[in-house]
Amino acid sequence: MQTNKIILDTDIGDDIDDALALALALRSPELELLGVTTVFKNVRARAQLARRLLDLGGRPDIPVFAGCPQPLINRVDDREVPCQWSADMENARCEEEESAAGFLVRQAAAFPGEVTLVPIGPLTNIAAAIAACPDFKSRIKRIVLMGGAFHSHFAEWNIYCDPEAARIVFESGIPVVAVGLDVTLKCRLSRDEVDELKAMTGVAGDPYRNFLMELVDRWLRFSGNLPVLHDPLAVCAVFDEAVLTLKREVVQVETRGEFTRGLTFNRTGGDWVNPGESEEGAWIAEEVDAPRFFATFLPRVFGASFAGGR
């Protein structure tokens, strides 16, 4: 089986979908996870959380790098502790001798044309790597990201948090597959699945899966919402092209509007494209085969015995 070399770039610790995306990456034989980089606000706490999940998943060899805590222009509170972090993660080991952007550049140079970046948070680390190395763009195979809203008038969170970085990425010329909010919202865990998941906590005898269930429970208590699998869908799209219907379109990111900052605008080419913008565009997710996705996601992440409500 040919594997896809990937780097997962994540704002893990707030919404539960980042942890579930990392779990899917770990449990997918089609993927070779070269490393994890964290982004936005308290990147150290995020890195510690990712480290714990990797260690319990039997992969202490996969490095974790704390990346850019601040967007390119805006300022945020980078001391804010993610809701899924706990004090017992304080001593989790993370890489400190190299920046996240430096790691991205190094891996792209080590495996030219082979690395797929999977950013599932704000795109600051990717933009920093593009700025740091002129050859980085030509060495990356592609980017499969979760971000944007391409069929509705809505500023999706990952783009909104750093629109300037998103604009750099979409205009970089790196091949991009963008899995937007319009599509990911169709992939929500059902109440029956959540209830079964909670009933499995502490019973499965697997510290890794029990920890993952604990994170899901923290998210449920914090948010009161059923988990939506935004980020796992992007991970799945790396190795299963049939899970999404894609359309090639030119994407612009609004960075200046008082009420429209962070919006993604897309259409199929035309003379409206700004100078310097990539006219090749990006592959935008139009639709998802949700049953196909869940048939992959549920047994891989929660175990073959997970029946669920589908």
Buried b / exposed e along 228-245 (16+ C-beta atoms within 10 A): bbbbbbbbbbbbbeebbe
11, 18, 162, 182: the catalytic one is 11
- Between the alpha carbon of residue 288 and those of residues 83, 87, 185, 236, 245, the distances in Å are 29, 38, 10, 11, 6
Which residues lie below 8 Å from residue 135, measured CB to CB, with a gap of 6+?
A: 108, 109
What is the Cα gyration radius of the chain? Answer: 18
Q: How far apart are CA 202 and CA 183, in angstroms?
A: 33
Catalytic status, residue 88? no
Question: What's the N-to-C CA distance of the chain in angstroms?
Answer: 29
Catalytic status, residue 11? yes
14, 17, 55, 230: the catalytic one is 230
Q: How far apart are CA 172 and CA 214, in angstroms?
A: 39
| Active site (catalytic) residues | 11, 230
